[in-house]
Amino acid sequence: MSKTAMVFFILLLVLASCFIAGCNSLPFSGTSAQTETPKKVDVGLTGHENPVTAQRYQFDKAVAGLFSADSVTMWNDTPVNASQENVSQKIVYPEKHIKYIRGADLDENGDASSWTFVVDHGDQFSFVTYNSRGMIISNSPGTIKRTEIFTDQIIKPRELFEKNRAVIFNTTWTGTDVTRDLSLGGGNYTVTISGDDTLQILTFDAKTGAPTSSND
């Protein structure tokens, strides 16, 4: 056997051995690279995971997320130096003041598919939205001239719905596709109930939950 034929024969043996050993399973240039699973910042907001109904979020969890440590870098606040008795200085950020709250598509527990807050901080204000995509903050210059909302001084949406269940969940609407939205501002809750043939607006005192008006 010639030298060339011998080399060719050896190469065939090597290729055959490699194929049998599984060399053909190695990745090639056309193989897709594995991508890392996107990470979501946890700001303490949890929802009801139900594949049949829309995901809902609790009011208290949303409020807590506004001031969580994980949300600090998203506010785009400019820190200022505050004198501390002329001895030392520390970095502080503008205080945050809630001026308006809105919940969309609330369920019987007062939990919403999304919560939106308007927040004053320093020389700017922000629209903060919590929904299935997480927390989204949109900053704008200026201030909002509305009364501040202190969430520890109001009745919570869950308590409001429980206290006024008979009127908010009127049995005459059974079988009708109804959506209940809620807004809070100026010391009052406003619940807007809408459906195919239904539109009702109810107003409640934000501190006591007592009805104040209705468009009936």
Query: How confident is the model over 26-58, as pLDDT tens digits?
Result: 222 332 333 222 223 444 455 544 444 579 999
Percent of the chain past pLDDT 90, that is, above it, reads 45
6 occurs within a structural domain: no
Cα-based distances in Å from 18 to 10, 31, 173? 12, 20, 72
Specify which of 2-11, 41-50, 91-100, 177-186 reaches the highest per-range mean pLDDT.
177-186
44 occurs within a structural domain: no
109 occurs within a structural domain: yes
- Average pLDDT over every residue of 84-111: 83
Total domain count, the chain: 1
pTM: 0.70
155 occurs within a structural domain: yes
Would you state the pLDDT for residue 80? 67
Q: Please tell me the least confidently modeled range out of 13-17, 134-138, 200-204.
A: 13-17
Would you state the pLDDT for residue 56? 94
Instruction: Give the separation between CA 81 and CA 90, rounded to whole angstroms.
Output: 6
CA atoms within 13 A on the CB side of 216: 10
Would you state the pLDDT for residue 179? 93
The whole domain housing 150 covers 59-83+93-214
- More confident call, 1 vs 124: 124
13 occurs within a structural domain: no
43 occurs within a structural domain: no
